[in-house]
Amino acid sequence: MSRVSDTRLRTREAAAHLVSTGRRSHDLTVDLIYAEIKQGSRTTINDELKLWKDEQAKADALTAALPPAVASAMLNMWALAVEHGEKVFDQRLEEVETQLAKATTSVESLGAEKSRLLKQNESLHADIVLGQSELAAVRELLTAERVAKENAISRVNALEQQLESVKTDAAQAVSILKAEHRLRIQELQAALATQESSFRQEIDKATERLEGVQKHVMLQVTEAREAQKRAETHLSKTNQKNEQLSAEVQQLGRQITSIAQTAERAQADLTQAHGVIDKLRSERESLVQQVATAAGKLGALEQQVESLERRAVGAETRLEIALKRPATTKKTSEKPLQQDLINR
């Protein structure tokens, strides 16, 4: 049942209830009905209330036209019908309210389920979009792989054709090489036979030379044996001489030991002599310095003596000259002579 039909039904039930409480039908208003049912729009209540009032006016007119006993019976029946209607209405109202509560709960549950389903739908839509993208990528990849596979198959076919061609060429080349190889083997066999004959001749010559060498070696061995015997004899003599030389060496060793001892003593004496020589050298250097000093002094004295001797000779010469002069001259020159002697 819709919300509008429920409002219209309850409007009729509320109007009948108000009439049963003593109100007159034409006194009923929209506000009175709304105060009773507390639901619906006032426009719907007003429309339904007008229809009910029209029907009620028609029923009142019909009642007025009937006899009082029939009218009273009809009113009683109407009252019973209204009471029964109210009970049915209350029962129905409880059922409707229960169904409404269940429906509300169901609606809320469905709303939550709807939200969940919407979210799930959004997630699924995102997954679908992602799947479509991945599917497109996979399709592109499959297309690329299919193209690559077709290209690979084409290349394989081409390579197989090339391989068949190469096999054919290789078979022909192998056949040619086998023929050339057989010809080469025949040539090598002929050359080998020629070389083998030549080698045999060389071996025969080498065998002859080897026999000659063996004879020469045997001769040399015989000579070596004789030389060994001579060497052994000489070795025996040499051993005897070595024994003699060993005795001489021992004697020389003793002499060398004695000479070494003498040399050690001579070395000690030489060391001591070097000390004496060093001391004498020091004394000689000191004496040389003293002699040099004395020589210097002596030279100076000799120079002084020579100077004095020269002065003395000059004085004697002048004196002799002065003595040989006449007396007058002697007198006049006596003072200058004396002065000259003083100056000298």
Which letter does DSSP use for residue 40 in this model? S
Q: Is 12 inside a domain boundary?
A: yes
> What is the spatial distance between Cα 91 and Cα 189, in angstroms, rounded to a whole number?
131
Tokens of 156: 């394989």
Q: Is 145 inside a domain boundary?
A: no
Give residue 199's pLDDT. 65
Residue 340, pLDDT > 70, answer: no
Residue 2, pLDDT > 50, answer: no
Residue 132, pLDDT > 70, answer: yes
Of 80, 85, 81, residue with least CA distance to 13:
85
Query: Quick one: average pLDDT of 134-154?
Result: 84
Q: Is 18 inside a domain boundary?
A: yes
Compute CA 117 distance to the chain's CA centroid, rounded to the nearest angstrom.
Answer: 54
Count the alpha carbons within 13 Å of 128 in the hemisphere toward its beta carbon.
6
Place of tokens 């060993």: 246
Q: Is 92 inside a domain boundary?
A: yes
Number of domains in the chain: 1
Residue 4, pLDDT > 50, answer: no
pLDDT in tens, 165-178: 877 886 787 688 78
Give residue 234's pLDDT. 79
> What is the spatial distance between Cα 11 and Cα 39, in angstroms, rounded to a whole number?
10
- At 335, is the pLDDT very low, low, confident or very high (cuts 50, 70, 90)? low
Which amino acid appears at position 328 of this protein? Answer: T
Residue 97, pLDDT > 50, answer: yes
Q: Give the chain's length.
A: 344
Neighbours of 164 (CB within 10 A): 10
Q: Is 258 inside a domain boundary?
A: no
Residue 118, pLDDT > 50, answer: yes
- At 122, is the pLDDT very low, low, confident or very high (cuts 50, 70, 90)? confident
Of 43, 41, 45, 59, residue with least CA distance to 11:
45
- Residue 54 structural domain: 3-130
> What is the spatial distance between Cα 212 and Cα 216, in angstroms, rounded to a whole number?
6
- At 142, is the pLDDT very low, low, confident or very high (cuts 50, 70, 90)? confident
Residue 77, pLDDT > 90, answer: no
Query: Quick one: average pLDDT of 1-12?
Result: 72
Of 38, 115, 31, 6, residue with least CA distance to 23:
31
> What is the spatial distance between Cα 158 and Cα 1, in angstroms, rounded to a whole number?
81
pTM score over 0.75 = no
Q: Is 57 inside a domain boundary?
A: yes
Share of the chain above pLDDT 70, in %: 82
> What is the spatial distance between Cα 47 and Cα 53, in angstroms, rounded to a whole number?
10
**In this structure, are residues 15 and 85 in contact, taking their beta carbons and an 8 Å threshold?**
no
- At 217, is the pLDDT very low, low, confident or very high (cuts 50, 70, 90)? low
Give residue 344's pLDDT. 52
pLDDT in tens, 223-280: 868 877 887 887 788 788 878 877 886 887 888 788 678 868 868 877 886 887 688 7
- At 3, is the pLDDT very low, low, confident or very high (cuts 50, 70, 90)? very low
> What is the spatial distance between Cα 342 and Cα 241, in angstroms, rounded to a whole number?
103
> What is the spatial distance between Cα 342 and Cα 237, in angstroms, rounded to a whole number?
108
Q: Is 107 inside a domain boundary?
A: yes
> What is the spatial distance between Cα 272 and Cα 53, in angstroms, rounded to a whole number?
177
> What is the spatial distance between Cα 221 and Cα 225, in angstroms, rounded to a whole number?
6
**Mean pLDDT score of the chain, rounded to an integer?**
78
Tokens of 131: 């799947």
pLDDT in tens, 290-304: 868 877 887 887 888
Query: Quick one: average pLDDT of 117-130?
Result: 81
> What is the spatial distance between Cα 326 and Cα 315, in angstroms, rounded to a whole number?
19
